[in-house]
Structure 1
Amino acid sequence: MKKTILLLFLLVSAFAKAQVEYRELTSEKLGATRQIKVQLPRNYSANTEKNYPVIIVMDGDYLFEPVAGNVDYYSYWEEMPDAIVVGILQGDTRDDDTFYDDVNFLPDDTGAAFFEFVGLELMPYLDANYRTANFRIAVGHDLTANFINFYLMKDPSLFQGYISLSPDLSPMMEERLVQRLGAVEQKVFYYLATATDDIKVLREPINALNGQLNTVSNPMVKTYFDNFDEATHYSLVGRAIPQALEDIFSISRPISKKEYKETILNLPGSPYDYLIEKYAVVKELFGLDEKIRVNDFIATSTALEKRSDWEGLERLGKLARQQYPDTMLGNYYLALSMENTGSPKKAMKTYQNGFLLEEVAFITKDLMLDKAAKIKEDFGY
């Protein structure tokens, strides 16, 4: 209980510092005005050249705050990229918004109008008024969790990420999802959640769907499933949202101890190539073209040293000079590579030149001078 209260306090505190805007959209599709909430990243105003992934939250009346709070908290600690969170208020229109035909079980009448509102009016409005990236996630709960699946049936899909919290699955949805996910040619992340104390009529089809999703063999699709112990239809939401964000954005996180030990140290190729590919995937998926974190430079360099991959360390040093030209990072890696490939004099001068630059992480002026002095002593320069 104490841990839950602490987490809620942290999320509320983080959410209070985020920028939240309230907007009204006049919709021709709905023939009405629809209210939305928009949370912008903390650094949105300062980073005028940066675009952000978009997370669309159905049931914005009650689901927006837990999603927005988690997004702000996780992005603050670099556990996921900064993102724009948009909540659609559906308190009085939820049943109409999620209506589907009882013959073909596809959105019809008011449901079809809402489907088009999101794709043809809301998303263009967000793209025109905010700096959005191409990566989009939809979040829904029971009725709306089922409804977001209909967007996956379109080609290309409006969303690349789906967070389906205890969906109230419509007839044929299981078969349609499995067929679509097996054939989709764009990258899709699909998160599904239920709980041991979830509503029984929802829980059984969800578990059956998960069994079918496990049969999907498509390299473009990544599925995730959680069955939370002793959680209800409503309490599972608070546990599922952070887990879903962790799963979907795992590739974008800083290199962890686990990733370092289990993946990087066991690579058949160079850790340098792994680092470049990691950030290339992040750019392709999320539209984020960011500098490599200093933490990731250090993790990669450590692996390169362990493997005596001095060519890779040289390439890492040149990259560090490009991305952090005012720091000692690049000089340190280049000098270390020279030192271990038979060019001690060049290494000594490179260490000495780095003395004029800014310290970074463990690389200090004293370290650079000590390295240069040791070479001078060993070789008598």
Structure 2
Amino acid sequence: MIKKLLLTAVLMCPVLSSAQVIYETIPSAKLQEDREIKIQLPRDYEENKEKTYPVAIVLDGDYLFEPVAGMIDYYSYWEDIPEMIVVGINQDGTRQQDAAYDQNRFLPEKQGAQFFEFLGMELLKRIDEKYRTSTFRIIVGHDFTSNFINYYLLKPDPVFKGYINLSPDMAPEMNKRITSALSSAESKKWYYLATGSEDIPQLQENILAFNNQLQTIDNDMVSYKFDNFNGATHYSLVGKAIPSAIEGIFSVFRPISSKDYNEVLLQTTVSPTAYLEEKYESINNLFGIEKKIRLNDFMAVHHAIEKTRRWDEYKELSKMAADNFPGTMLATYFEARYEEETGNPKKAMRTYQNAYGQEKIAFLTVDFMLEKANAIKRDFGY
């Protein structure tokens, strides 16, 4: 186990070296003691003063912080997920007391109740006050602490929207309570559950039964993902589960994939521009951020329009391009293609010529745009 954790740390070091990691000791009135935390800020945090970021809270931060923070930094580097603020709480020597629950109601008691309030009322407040946070928060836990994170889900208005459960050691009644909470959820929730074929047998049996319960939930507000990793132990499954959970929670954030292109954009029953607009509205609404439409996603829609010959789509795409890439040739090109293919060659020619003085973008250059204008001029004798 130690060798695997060291390997994970070595693999993550080049990624983490580019992100800002801050180590703090913070006082807690709820716990009546100080607690050590680790905070990883996004790479561009200091440069983008107006930008806000989702927050990931990582319990068992003494060993879970680095793999979670590393994966978040890696995925956000490639724009598969939003950049995030990652906060790890060190619990070496305190995790069982922090996750304690009473044996009658199976709810947090003593230090468990104090730790519950510390996270929800002190730590999150401190992070929100000190850093530029959005309203989207996820929380991660492993065995005892995985059970603990679900107590927040049982509240009427949970402070977390995403729950990453790594081989949870659930309290009695917890499975039933979670199923009920997710079944009745009226706002979007993401729930991830993982075990492995070599997990602790008692935990694995309970997790598999729990998965069967969760699969019966019929609620569009809930996104649920389950993994049972072949050959993975209670500890090694963590390295496989973290990227899988992150991919699942932020699936809508990813750029348009080949699968999306072939199965959605090329279907004549789907408006590619409406799909693009709805995709980014979902990203902004779900994650509390303002995400500019990616150039590659514009190109995917452009190619879909060319393939399906739905030329009217270019009109709306041009407006969207003007909003997202003002001053470039992108909107001009889409507008010209619309005029060219809908029977207005002279207007198309003049629109292509309007690119002179605009910024080049993607494959669009002044020479390319003027050649398009000249080709129309030759064909029609203008």
Flag whether TM exceeds 0.5 (same fold): yes
**Residue matched to 2:232:** 231
**Residue matched to 1:149:** 150
Q: Report the 3-state secondary structure (helix = DSSP H, G, I; strand = E; otherwise coil) of the residue aligned with 1:251.
A: helix
Q: Hey, what's the Cα distance between the residues in 2 that align with 1:6 and 1:165?
A: 19
**Residue matched to 1:185:** 186
**Residue matched to 1:210:** 211
**Residue matched to 1:172:** 173
Residues 106 and 171 in structure 2, CA contact (< 8 A), matched pair in contact too: yes
Q: Hey, what's the Cα distance between the residues in 2 that align with 1:300 and 1:36?
A: 44
Shift of 1:318: 1.8
Q: Report the 3-state secondary structure (helix = DSSP H, G, I; strand = E; otherwise coil) of the residue aligned with 1:234.
A: coil
**Residue matched to 1:309:** 310
Q: Report the 3-state secondary structure (helix = DSSP H, G, I; strand = E; otherwise coil) of the residue aligned with 2:219.
A: coil
- Structure 1 unpaired stretches of 5+: none
AA aligned to 2:245 is A
Residue 119 of structure 2 is aligned to residue 118 of structure 1: yes
Q: Hey, what's the Cα distance between the residues in 2 that align with 1:212 and 1:235?
A: 25
**Residue matched to 1:76:** 77
What are the superposed Cα offsets for residues 190-238 of structure 1, whole Å, 9 maximum, x if unpaired?
A: 0100000001011000000001000000000010000111111001001
AA aligned to 1:82 is E
What are the superposed Cα offsets for residues 19-48 of structure 1, whole Å, 9 maximum, x if unpaired?
A: 001112211111111111000000000010
Residue 261 of structure 2 is aligned to residue 260 of structure 1: yes
Q: Report the 3-state secondary structure (helix = DSSP H, G, I; strand = E; otherwise coil) of the residue aligned with 2:63.
A: coil
Q: Hey, what's the Cα distance between the residues in 1 that align with 2:363 and 2:325?
A: 15
Shift of 1:155: 1.2
Q: Hey, what's the Cα distance between the residues in 2 that align with 1:132 and 1:178?
A: 29
Residues 54 and 84 in structure 2, CA contact (< 8 A), matched pair in contact too: yes
**Residue matched to 1:280:** 281
Q: Hey, what's the Cα distance between the residues in 1 that align with 2:335 and 2:6?
A: 49
Q: Hey, what's the Cα distance between the residues in 1 that align with 2:118 and 2:127?
A: 12
What are the superposed Cα offsets for residues 329-364 of structure 1, whole Å, 9 maximum, x if unpaired?
A: 111100000101111111111111113222211222
Count the aligned residue pairs: 378
Q: Hey, what's the Cα distance between the residues in 1 that align with 2:158 and 2:341?
A: 51
Q: Hey, what's the Cα distance between the residues in 2 that align with 1:153 and 1:53?
A: 21
AA aligned to 2:138 is I
**Residue matched to 2:92:** 91
Q: Hey, what's the Cα distance between the residues in 2 that align with 1:286 and 1:10?
A: 28
Residues 12 and 66 in structure 2, CA contact (< 8 A), matched pair in contact too: no
Q: Report the 3-state secondary structure (helix = DSSP H, G, I; strand = E; otherwise coil) of the residue aligned with 1:63.
A: helix
**Residue matched to 1:45:** 46
Residues 197 and 233 in structure 1, CA contact (< 8 A), matched pair in contact too: yes
- The answer to which of 321-330 and 233-242 deviates more is 321-330
**Residue matched to 2:348:** 347
Shift of 1:267: 5.9
Q: Hey, what's the Cα distance between the residues in 1 that align with 2:7 and 2:322?
A: 41
Taking only aligned residues, the RMSD between alpha carbons, in angstroms, comes to: 1.5
- The answer to which of 307-316 and 218-227 deviates more is 307-316
Q: Report the 3-state secondary structure (helix = DSSP H, G, I; strand = E; otherwise coil) of the residue aligned with 2:44.
A: coil
Normalised by the length of structure 2, the TM-score is 0.96
AA aligned to 2:136 is F
Residues 8 and 67 in structure 2, CA contact (< 8 A), matched pair in contact too: no
Q: Hey, what's the Cα distance between the residues in 1 that align with 2:23 and 2:78?
A: 26
AA aligned to 1:352 is Q
Residues 60 and 90 in structure 2, CA contact (< 8 A), matched pair in contact too: yes
Shift of 1:367: 2.0
Residues 283 and 289 in structure 2, CA contact (< 8 A), matched pair in contact too: yes
Q: Hey, what's the Cα distance between the residues in 1 that align with 2:185 and 2:239?
A: 30
Q: Hey, what's the Cα distance between the residues in 1 that align with 2:349 and 2:25?
A: 64
Residues 58 and 64 in structure 2, CA contact (< 8 A), matched pair in contact too: yes
Shift of 1:269: 3.1
Q: Report the 3-state secondary structure (helix = DSSP H, G, I; strand = E; otherwise coil) of the residue aligned with 2:266.
A: helix
Q: Hey, what's the Cα distance between the residues in 2 that align with 1:267 and 1:257?
A: 17
- The answer to which of 339-348 and 267-276 deviates more is 267-276
What are the superposed Cα offsets for residues 231-280 of structure 1, whole Å, 9 maximum, x if unpaired?
A: 11001001110111111111001111111111222262311001000000
**Residue matched to 2:376:** 375
AA aligned to 1:370 is E
Q: Hey, what's the Cα distance between the residues in 1 that align with 2:245 and 2:13?
A: 19
- Structure 2 unpaired stretches of 5+: none
Residues 59 and 144 in structure 1, CA contact (< 8 A), matched pair in contact too: yes
Shift of 1:303: 1.4
Normalised by the length of structure 1, the TM-score is 0.96
- The answer to which of 27-36 and 57-66 deviates more is 27-36
**Residue matched to 1:21:** 22
Residue 315 of structure 2 is aligned to residue 289 of structure 1: no
**Residue matched to 1:246:** 247
Residues 182 and 218 in structure 1, CA contact (< 8 A), matched pair in contact too: yes
Q: Hey, what's the Cα distance between the residues in 1 that align with 2:210 and 2:190?
A: 15
**Residue matched to 1:365:** 366
AA aligned to 1:135 is F
AA aligned to 2:112 is G
Q: Report the 3-state secondary structure (helix = DSSP H, G, I; strand = E; otherwise coil) of the residue aligned with 1:258.
A: helix
Q: Report the 3-state secondary structure (helix = DSSP H, G, I; strand = E; otherwise coil) of the residue aligned with 2:30.
A: coil
Q: Report the 3-state secondary structure (helix = DSSP H, G, I; strand = E; otherwise coil) of the residue aligned with 1:345.
A: helix
AA aligned to 1:161 is G
Q: Report the 3-state secondary structure (helix = DSSP H, G, I; strand = E; otherwise coil) of the residue aligned with 1:238.
A: helix
Residues 57 and 88 in structure 1, CA contact (< 8 A), matched pair in contact too: yes
